[in-house]
């Protein structure tokens, strides 16, 4: 009998197939004492296993490239954390086996993350995956990973670690469903990059029996268990119609009455550029530069290395706009040479621009490298600072750009509510705003973007978040400046129309979402988008806001 479940849709498309569950390694090795004379050997085994797992993660990242690469490199750094390794060796010295020492040390670290205000709780899935891989290697059992299957299937998991998501084969994995995670988790972002339909935060997903046929609607978040022939036909028809609309919509982003809304791509490095170009991106709205710095957490990359990487992206968009975010380190992206190691809550500490202003040499080198990378290229370079809180932050960044001789527009990311509330003040110092809706939601609702239990508050349809977007866009219009959105909110086609109605001047998203947004925007006038935006802001919940906007745009 057909039943319907609802999670959070995070990647567009429909997938219909049989359920296959993610395999896991043995989670808890036996607790047994070893003689003191075996401690040194066991410590060596632990070190070798850690290095092998770290090397495997880096190799997977190199294969995957793009967004996935810096995620996996960060996970490899987690495996090699010296304090964690010291704890493993201490436990072995007092009698634990290598595998038990690893298991207990990671359990202790896991508890530490949970106790740090839970900002880092979203990395627990990554941490568990690293632990399972090391323990599996030590025990000689298969690594956790996607199931073996010759036939396409829908993958079900409690959560997906980046190492697994990054190398999913879209020809076999039709879509995936997880019990945990949120709309801005690593798995969600990588699913959109792959173009695989996905639903996260679905309670009880693990109870779906192996082999059960389900239909996954990655747009609505609905899961249809044992769908009827009629439901299958309905979903397939809707998917076909969507595909036809995508093919018909080409060219620059615009509403049906010609109001231009440039559609830009979010990229994590040169490897993401081909997909962005193929999708028809009009430029880059968010060039994340962390991938360069995560290669070596001990020191910043050289100016020469930075110039080469930046130029590779800038050259791909002649006459296009490329917006570069300077290094956003701290919180879930710690760097040994830059971020404090003992902050009680890194999310509310020295991260983003705050870290760079504490280390002006790192910022100066990056700005100089960007300036050199753009020399002689017909590209419209814009550079923005992450985590700007007020006018003083904006001025400090603008002054640094001028001192570095940067021939570009410089702007501020609006990720902290104070920057939205005082946007006109911030705009006295910079030339544009870019809304990072992922972090803006996190700080507005005190809801970690990686924790599935609070995903309701991470929903970009929350009216309070839309109010902050409207404040920023209105301030930019009053100052005659631009205000884009580069957070994951821009990848929702319906929400893209609402953001346009709120006055946002450009939208940046993962390349796979661009055709969906382009096709949807082209169906409505600017006035319709404005009415939908007003209806959404008048609602009291995210679900009501979505329904209200949909009703306006469908003419109900």
What residues are labeled active site?
186, 486
- Contact residues for 130 (Cβ-Cβ < 8 A; gap 6+): 53, 57, 75, 78, 79, 106
Question: Among residues 107, 55, 513, which one has the least CA distance to residue 275?
Answer: 513
DSSP 491-516: GSHHHHHHHHHTT--EEEE-GGGHHH
Q: Give the whole-angstrom CA distance, residue 43 versus residue 97.
A: 8
Tell me the sheet residues that pair with 263: 507
Q: Give the whole-angstrom CA distance, residue 129 versus residue 310.
A: 32
Cα distances (angstroms) measured from residue 106 to each of 84, 109, 117, 126, 135: 7, 5, 18, 11, 11
Q: Is there a contact between 168 and 146 (Cβ–Cβ < 8 Å)? A: yes
What H or E segment, with its residue span, contains residue 477?
Answer: helix 463-478
Burial class (CB in 10 A: 0-12, 13-18, 19+), 110: middle
**Percent helix, strand and coil across the chain, each to the nearest 5:** 50, 15, 35
Q: Give the whole-angstrom CA distance, residue 349 versus residue 340.
A: 9
What H or E segment, with its residue span, contains residue 435?
Answer: strand 432-435
- Provide the 10 A C-beta neighbour count for residue 474: 15
What H or E segment, with its residue span, contains residue 385?
Answer: strand 380-385
DSSP, res 279: T
Sheet of strand 8-11, all strands in order from the earlier edge strand to the far edge: 3-6, 222-225, 213-217, 14-21, 153-157, 173-178, 198-200, 8-11
- Contact residues for 270 (Cβ-Cβ < 8 A; gap 6+): 309, 312, 313
Q: Give the whole-angstrom CA distance, residue 406 versus residue 410.
A: 9
- Contact residues for 405 (Cβ-Cβ < 8 A; gap 6+): 368, 371
């Amino acid at each position: 009998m057909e039943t319907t479940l609802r999670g959070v849709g995070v990647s567009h498309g429909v997938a219909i197939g049989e359920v296959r569950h993610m395999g896991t390694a043995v989670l808890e090795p036996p607790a047994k004492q070893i003689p003191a004379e075996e401690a040194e050997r066991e410590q060596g085994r632990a070190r070798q296993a850690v290095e092998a797992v770290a090397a495997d993660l880096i190799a997977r990242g190199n294969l995957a490239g793009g967004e996935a690469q810096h995620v996996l490199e960060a996970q490899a750094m987690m495996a090699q954390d010296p304090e964690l390794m010291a704890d493993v060796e201490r436990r072995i010295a007092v009698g634990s086996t290598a595998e038990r020492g690893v298991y207990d040390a990671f359990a202790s670290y896991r508890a530490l993350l949970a106790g740090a205000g839970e900002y880092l709780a979203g990395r627990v899935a990554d941490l568990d995956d690293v632990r399972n891989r090391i323990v599996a290697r030590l025990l000689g059992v298969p690594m956790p990973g996607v199931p073996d299957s010759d036939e396409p299937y829908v993958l079900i998991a409690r959560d997906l670690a980046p190492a697994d998501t990054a190398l999913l084969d879209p020809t076999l994995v039709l879509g995936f469903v997880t019990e945990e995670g949120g709309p801005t988790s690593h798995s969600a972002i990588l699913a959109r990059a792959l173009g695989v339909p996905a639903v996260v935060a679905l309670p009880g997903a693990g109870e779906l029996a192996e082999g059960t046929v389900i239909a996954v609607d990655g747009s609505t978040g609905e899961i249809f268990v044992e769908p009827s022939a009629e439901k299958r036909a309905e979903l397939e028809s809707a998917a076909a119609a969507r595909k036809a609309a995508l093919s018909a919509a080409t060219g620059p982003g615009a509403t049906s009455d010609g109001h231009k809304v440039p559609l830009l791509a979010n990229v994590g490095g040169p490897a993401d550029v081909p997909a962005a170009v193929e999708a028809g991106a009009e430029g880059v709205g968010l060039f994340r530069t962390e991938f360069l710095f995560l290669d070596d957490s001990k020191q910043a990359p050289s100016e020469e290395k930075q110039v080469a990487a930046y130029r590779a992206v800038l050259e791909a968009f002649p006459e296009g706009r490329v917006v570069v975010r300077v290094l956003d380190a701290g919180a879930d992206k710690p760097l040994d040479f830059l971020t404090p190691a003992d902050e009680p809550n890194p999310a509310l500490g020295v991260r983003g621009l705050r870290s760079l202003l504490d280390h002006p040499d790192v910022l100066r080198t990056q700005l100089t490298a960007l300036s050199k990378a753009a020399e002689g290229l017909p590209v419209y370079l814009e550079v923005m600072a992450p985590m700007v809180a007020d006018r003083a932050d904006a001025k400090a960044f603008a002054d640094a750009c001028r001192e570095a001789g940067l021939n570009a527009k410089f702007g501020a990311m609006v990720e902290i509510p104070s920057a939205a509330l005082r946007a006109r003040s911030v705009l006295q110092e910079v030339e544009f705003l870019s809304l990072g809706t992922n972090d803006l939601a996190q700080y507005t609702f005190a809801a970690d973007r990686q924790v599935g239990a609070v995903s309701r508050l991470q929903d970009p349809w929350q009216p309070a978040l839309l109010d902050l977007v409207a404040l920023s866009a209105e301030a930019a219009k009053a100052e005659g400046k631009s205000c884009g959105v580069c957070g994951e909110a821009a990848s929702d086609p319906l929400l893209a129309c609402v953001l346009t109605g709120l006055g946002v001047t450009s939208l940046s998203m993962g390349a796979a979402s661009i055709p969906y947004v382009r096709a949807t925007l082209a169906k409505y006038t600017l006035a319709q988008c404005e009415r939908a935006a007003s209806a959404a802001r008048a609602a009291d919940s995210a679900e009501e806001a979505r329904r209200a906007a949909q009703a306006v745009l469908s003419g109900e």
